């Protein structure tokens, strides 16, 4: 739901400033809390950690519903701060599941299945604003019903965490069981992290990839989708965008579990494919970007009744829509889940 609402550009608002500042708070706290999230998750347990993390997303979306009526900027930024704390715990719990539950020979496939389900949430979440705003051909904020739909789905997601099977009861397909480690302290986790860096120094070379894992979303959602498309077309673009990620995850997950090639060969081959696709797609994005400037599209400056916001936005009925639509879809050919697969095998 977080991906779906932000994929609308400005989280469904015409002015992207509130969303930008809120997401800055999200990632600032996320990056700090994540360092200690493993210990917190071990203390809470997987179910409680996932449910606690999910509630942060509910409040985040509710802040935009409130903003539609009160313009309460402070609440949106606070919701971003809170979500950063919750997201750190949620993703630590998710990582624990994805690294410990799969059999060794099926890790790529299991991660692919997770990303397919994860991005299906983005597809379903994008269908909500598409249905709510299918007749909105202007550049206006999404309706209250859109945010209400996101909130309901997020609450349901947080509740579904309690239906997970306890790790101690999980039996893998090969008959083995998940081994639960003794809960470490903050001190032992930090010491363990230091030991890892000392014994595996090449991990440092992954940091640029970690840094790049989310920054492109801001450009794609705000600098392309919000800047170039009207409300209903942004919703359609999101449906196509997250659907393409499902197929991308399926392809990469299947290839990375092929036993015909060594693990290192599979990892290097995927790196090569990602390298070529990234430069090809972003080269096309650069050519598209040269056709407009930030000042022209007034990203972050427009209001619903601002007469100066006369930059033409693409609608799906326009003859020139198909090219930009495919560019937006192909942006997912260099997704972070593909990098996650390669990291797992490397």
pLDDT in tens, 290-344: 888 877 776 544 455 554 456 778 888 888 899 899 998 888 755 555 555 545 5
pLDDT digits (tens, 9 = 90+) for 190-246: 787 788 778 887 878 877 777 777 778 778 887 888 888 887 888 888 888 888 888
Q: Return the DSSP state at 151.
A: H
Domain that holds residue 75: 2-345
**Rounded to 10 degrees, what is the CA torsion of 195, 196, 197, 199?**
80
pLDDT digits (tens, 9 = 90+) for 124-162: 877 877 887 777 666 666 677 778 888 888 888 888 888
Structural domain count of the chain: 1
- Percent of the chain at pLDDT exceeding 70: 84
Residue-level pLDDT at 82: 92
Residue-level pLDDT at 334: 53
pLDDT digits (tens, 9 = 90+) for 105-114: 777 677 778 8
| Cα within 13 Å of Cα(171), Cβ side | 2
Packing angle, helices 231-256 and 322-330, rounded to 10: 40
Of 108, 101, 142, 100, give the one whose Cα is nearest residue 7: 142
Residue-level pLDDT at 286: 92
Average pLDDT over residues 56-73: 86
Residue-level pLDDT at 346: 47
Enumerate residues 6+ apart whose C-beta is below 8 A from 180: 167, 168
End-to-end distance of the chain based on CA atoms, in angstroms? 30
């Amino acid at each position: 739901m977080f991906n779906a609402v932000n994929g609308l550009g400005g989280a469904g608002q015409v002015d992207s400033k509130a969303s930008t500042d809120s997401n800055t708070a999200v990632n600032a706290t996320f990056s700090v809390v994540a360092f200690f999230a493993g210990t917190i998750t071990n203390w809470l347990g997987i179910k409680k950690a996932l449910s606690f993390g999910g509630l942060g997303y509910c409040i985040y979306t509710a802040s935009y519903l409130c903003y539609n009526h009160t313009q309460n900027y402070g609440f949106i930024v606070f919701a971003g701060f809170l979500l950063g704390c919750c997201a750190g715990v949620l993703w630590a719990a998710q990582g624990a599941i994805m690294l410990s539950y799969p059999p060794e020979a099926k890790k790529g496939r299991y991660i692919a299945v997770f990303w397919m389900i994860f991005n299906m949430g983005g597809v379903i979440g994008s269908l909500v604003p598409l249905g709510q705003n299918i007749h909105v051909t202007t550049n206006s904020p999404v309706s209250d019903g859109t945010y209400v739909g996101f909130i309901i789905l997020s609450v349901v997601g947080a509740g579904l965490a309690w239906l997970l099977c306890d790790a101690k009861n999980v039996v893998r397909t090969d008959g083995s069981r998940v081994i639960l480690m003794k809960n470490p302290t903050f001190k032992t986790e930090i010491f363990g992290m230091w030991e890892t860096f000392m014994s595996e120094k090449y991990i440092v070379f992954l940091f640029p990839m970690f840094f790049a894992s989310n920054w492109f979303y801001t450009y794609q959602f705000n600098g392309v989708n919000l800047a170039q498309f009207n409300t209903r077309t942004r919703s359609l673009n999101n449906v196509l965008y997250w659907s393409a990620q499902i197929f991308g995850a399926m392809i990469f997950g299947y290839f990375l579990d092929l036993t015909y090639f060594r693990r290192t060969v599979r990892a290097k081959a995927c790196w090569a494919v990602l390298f070529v696709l990234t430069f090809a797609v972003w080269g096309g994005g650069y050519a598209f970007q040269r056709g407009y400037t930030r000042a022209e599209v007034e990203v972050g400056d427009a209001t619903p009744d601002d007469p100066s916001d006369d930059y033409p936005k693409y609608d799906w009925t326009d003859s020139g829509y198909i090219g930009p639509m495919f560019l937006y879809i192909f942006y997912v050919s260099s997704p972070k889940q593909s990098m996650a697969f390669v990291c797992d095998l490397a």
